[in-house]
Amino acid sequence: MKKSKITVLLVDDHALVRRGFRLMLEDDPEITIVAEAGDGADAVKLARELRPRVVVMDCALPGMSGMDATKQIRQQWPDIAVLMLTMHSEDTWVRLALEAGANGYILKSAVDLDLIEAVRKVAEGETVLDPKVAKPAALKGDKSLGLTHRELEILQLIVSGKSNKEIASDLSLSVNTVSVHRANIMETLGIHNTAELVVYAIKNGLVTLS
């Protein structure tokens, strides 16, 4: 009996990145890319319309984040597996992804990235964690101290030196929304200026340093 193909929806806001992953996955005759999306809202819409076996999802997306899209997809269509493919190796991001319902979490930066194998495994119901994040600390504890994934995204951009206006543009949010998030981050962490915030975020591993 012929095995059915593993249908995949690719979600990343960079077209070149999607193209690279498409070429990688289409090397396998048992995998077919049914669609691509550049943001979380489109990912949810396409998941509803196409019901792929696997969604390969970036965490950081404009508008609706990859985490929120994952949560919606997994709650509404639990038979769809979501594989997070991201630059973020911090325990906090892994925990948030798994809490959102992700079936796997692998790093884009991995030299030995085997995307085909990861897609096959999550399609078969396995949980896949990148060796660099697959450790008990990644699955317990709360280093984020109550920050949401959106606040962590904004914190990353603050540490990168971006202004509220630039962050708003990057994430397709209003400047006022970013200002509110920034204020909430500082209040949650008990920090009163940006310099202290940057030092705290780096020291506690809440951000990735490029």
Burial degree of 53 (CB within 10 A; 0-12, 13-18, 19+) = buried
Residue found by looking up tokens 């925990």 in the block: 95
Q: Which residue has the higher pLDDT, 23 or 138?
A: 23
d(CA 27, CA 70): 26
Closest by CA to 104, choosing from 89, 136, 82, 133, is 82
d(CA 36, CA 18): 7
User: The whole model's pTM is what?
Assistant: 0.67
CA 100 to chain centre: 10
d(CA 210, CA 208): 6
pLDDT band at 138 (very low <50, low <70, confident <90, very high): very low
Topology (CATH level 3) of domain 149-203: Arc Repressor Mutant, subunit A (1.10.10)
Contact 73, 80 (CB under 8 A): yes
pLDDT band at 7 (very low <50, low <70, confident <90, very high): very high
Residue 188 identity: T
Residue 83, strand partner residues: 56, 104
Domain boundaries, the chain: 6-139, 149-203
Topology (CATH level 3) of domain 6-139: Rossmann fold (3.40.50)
In this prediction, residues 152-161 reach a mean pLDDT of 88
Q: For 88-116, how does the pLDDT look when each residue is reduced to its tens digit (9 = 90+)?
A: 887 778 888 888 889 999 988 776 678 99
Q: For 32-90, how does the pLDDT look when each residue is reduced to its tens digit (9 = 90+)?
A: 999 999 999 999 999 999 999 999 999 888 888 888 999 999 999 999 999 998 888 87
CATH topology identical between 6-139 and 149-203: no
